[in-house]
Amino acid sequence: MPVPLVPELRMHRAEAVAPVWFETARWLDDDDADVPFWCVPWAGGQALARYVIDHPEIVRGRRVLDFACGGGLVALAAALVGGHVRAVDVDPLARVATELNAKENRLSIAVTTHDLVGDSLADVDVVLAGDVWYEPGPSARFRRWFRRLARTKTVLTGDSGRPYVPRRARELARYEVPTPFELEARDVRTSRVLAMDPAASRTAEAKAGR
């Protein structure tokens, strides 16, 4: 189906996460199976994808990483406007979903399953992270890493009002994203695109004694 805020792209997507989560856990025989973030285009990711398509100069001709790619929406957007894109997620099912969505859109994306947090990403110019600010532990890891990366790279993230989004980030754009009520308990979520600011990153590190 077309993505609501990014109709240039089509994705295999569910209208509700819970049924997919239940069936995935049953298929894996794992009651602690991860949330299937890959089965829907989350609002923060839609906002970031829209921004990338509307501002292609950010990624065109550059080496781009879609971090925690889920179903790959942000990677697809970057590839559509000329980025050299690879996507990564710790969930192997996200890799499969991203590959299926890339095939649907006739786009070429390299996808891997790996935990890159802490890596210097020497072969990357732009880091894009959609809707990743859900849990305190992972969000703290991402935030520290993004701040370090922002000293030498463009680091952009999407946020739709998640609880652990970085406070020291510069807002670039704001969108009203249509969302299924079954997914977000509302029909629209206000979602922002944020840039990790190198100056703010250095200030945060100085205050932390680093």
Per-residue confidence (pLDDT) for residue 162, from 0 to 100: 86
Q: What is the DSSP string of 7-66?
A: EEEE----S-HHHHHHHHHHHHT-TTPPP-GGGS--HHHHHHHHHHHH-GGGTTTSEEEE
Per-residue confidence (pLDDT) for residue 209, from 0 to 100: 45
Distance (Å, whole) CA 162 – CA 137: 14
**Per-residue pLDDT in tens (0 to 9) along the chain, 210 residues:** 999 999 999 999 887 788 888 888 888 888 888 888 888 898 999 999 999 999 999 999 999 999 999 999 999 999 999 999 999 999 999 999 999 999 999 999 999 999 999 999 999 999 999 989 989 999 999 999 999 999 999 999 999 988 899 988 999 999 999 887 666 667 888 999 999 987 554 544 444 444
Complete domains list, the chain, with CATH:
2-207 (3.40.50.150)
Question: What are the tokens at 38?
Answer: 């890959």
Question: What are the tokens at 61?
Answer: 């001709």
Per-residue confidence (pLDDT) for residue 200, from 0 to 100: 54
Distance (Å, whole) CA 74 – CA 45: 6
